[in-house]
Structure 1
Amino acid sequence: MKIAVIGAGLGGLLSAAALSKEHDVTVYEQLDMYGGRFTNLPYKGFQLTTGAFHMIPHGPTGPLALLLKDVGADVEIVRSKPEGTVLMQDGKLVSAMNFVDVLSPATKLKVPLLAMKALGQKTGTAADFLKGFPDMLPLADSFCGWALSATAANTPMEEIAAILKNMQKYGMPGIPMGGCSGVVDALAGVVEDNGGRINLSTRVDAVKVEDGRATGVSVAGQNVPVDAVISNIGHQLTSKLYDRKYLEPKYAEVLTKVKPSAGIKICLAAEEPLVGHPGVLFTPYTRRVNGINEVTHTDPSLAPKGMHLTMSHQTLRSADMQQEIKLGLEDLKKIFPGKKYSVLMVQSYKDDWPVNRISSGYDLGNLTPVKGLFVVGDGAKGKGGIEVEGVALGVRNMLELFEKAYG
């Protein structure tokens, strides 16, 4: 089959690497680079990122690692040890695996029952679930902010339950050697080795549809006939590429309601370690920063010799971007008192360059009203998939749907 992939982000490259084993695949990317929000951004000798952190939520045993192995992408992923720590109000650190130590005695007694109940929760938000347990809400906000760029109040508890199950199943974070580029470079290599093509600086203007089925794409005014289309640009942007007569009313209505998640990343340079380990530092008692990582303990090549790269993340809580950045910078001063560091870059993610095209827990799956047109990426994640793990789960599901449709 002849397949067009729109967008060379992580979802598009995973799809192309898998499908190019047996099919004729061409990837079209409007930027002059592949990787989207999951690649390295060289700056002053540091390897910053265009979006995602140099961290994979379930490390070498998670959905992304398994799919990379399946498609033949050789990526070394090193498990983070410790997995994470929590910064307390008094400045002390506790293991993220022993977070119950920070809770009140009354809440500690109820944690086992809460955990069992959480795994089966189907309704409400995480904040609703924790009503009556105010000492757990900051921890939930820190986790949701770090992992999903959301708050506990706007994250469905059903999604949290699925995440908890995946944490039990797949394990904890890991770091890809070479950072994000280590992953997408390997995938691009697989696509090309399989005979596929990645066309950069090439925009798809339209998806051609006949009798409700995708039959081609328009590129620079030229119609390219295809048998199927995989879109990595999200449901909303994808829906603008084909004739609106094929846009089902219920689907169109849903598209008007879903929203992207937004966040801010602050990148720091320091000669001495700030976090002190390669896991996640959760910061539940700050005004804005949700979590921080320092992956140069595992991969020193991501910074100049003798330097560390430290990156913080915070979900965007208001429309005043400058105020949000200011509060994040103030948080970092309090988190690292007396430490010497410089701010390399502040990056914001929203609108058409968001953290997720659709907030976690509200993903719309891989299907569209047009037969043969599938969506992958961070607007079509699998249930309970944290960021790139969700992208991998979504691609895996798309491949199953593809196989059912075409054999």
Structure 2
Amino acid sequence: MAVSLLAREASDLCLGKPALRSLSATATVTEALSAFKRFRETFLSVWTATDQSNAAAAAAADDCLFCIGKVCMVDVICFLCKDENLASPAQALQSPVSVLIPKIPGLVRHLEPNARLSEAFDLILEGAQNLIIPIQSSRKKLHQKPASFNSSRPNNREYCWVTQEDIIRYLLNCIGLFSPTPANPINSLNLIDDQNILAVHYDDPASAALPLISQSLISQTSVAVIDGEGKLVGEISPSTLNFCDETVAAAIATLSASDLMAYIDYGGPPEDLVQLVKDRLEEKNFRALLEFMDEDSTSSSDDEFGYGKSGRLTVRSSEAIVCYSWSSLVAVMIQALAHRLNYVWVVEQDGTLVGIVTFAAMLKVFRERLNTMP
């Protein structure tokens, strides 16, 4: 049963998914921002010339280009929040986009389209965030030259991501085969991680959350915001920040964690918080950042980018999605998938934060279960 379940080609998980937008590693951060807004993309794949000393990589990338990572708006925001970049944001945006890519090997891996799902499963368990797979239907376009590198066809091919979420959705479709495990409570399956919780106090400066935001982006989780009693009051989530514009860096540099949650919530920041940010930028003598914030608000075009007046797309609330230690595995899976998250916070009935359940932990349980199947 386990053999047949994972015998499908990993490329089957790409059916119906759009091709990736690509960007050269030599493109600037400004060009990445333009692509995010123009194409309304949340992530861009970054490509560079393949290291010819790596034969496997060269084969995967057709001896031409190789995906070295992915970038998103959160990467840009965290980059702009560095001390040296707060002083000169316009200059920082001229940096090559490659500076945004985490120096962690293996976050993005190449797979051939005929690779088995078992191989994709194991690579994800080893720590890969995204697997790059060529879309086979585009092979007939190999002779065509892309109009630009800001296209969806590096190496004259189209590619697609496979992620943790894709594999979890696949497993959910055949959840009955794993019975009774999916019906068991998450605490009985040792799924609750109470050691690696990323959290800040709601009165802490939002800037204190910056290293945690970067870490949560890599771990595909979030930063919890708690009160003095350890109760979960919200979160600063990469999935929410990813739909903000780059000027939210000014809010992170000046606001508390609780005020930042209000700033990035539905509908754009309240006018009083916008003014508070500007006043504090003046106090801190961040004149360049203040000018950058004003210039961006006047230059962004709603018609061109489909953004609101704050430069934002419609996003979800900073309210945290929670479950309980007695919630079943399948219930938590469905909850996370419904909210397009890779995690769910675990709380007590009074709201006290207990831990977090992640797709990564779920996948380990399913892999162990598969190993015991005939």
* TM-score by shorter chain over 0.5: no
Specify which structure has the higher proportion of helix.
Answer: 2
Specify which structure has the higher proportion of strand.
Answer: 1
Q: Which structure exhibits the higher relative contact order, with contacts defined as CA atoms closer than 8 Å and separated by 6 or more residues? A: 1
TM-score scaled by length of structure 2: 0.31
TM-score scaled by length of structure 1: 0.29
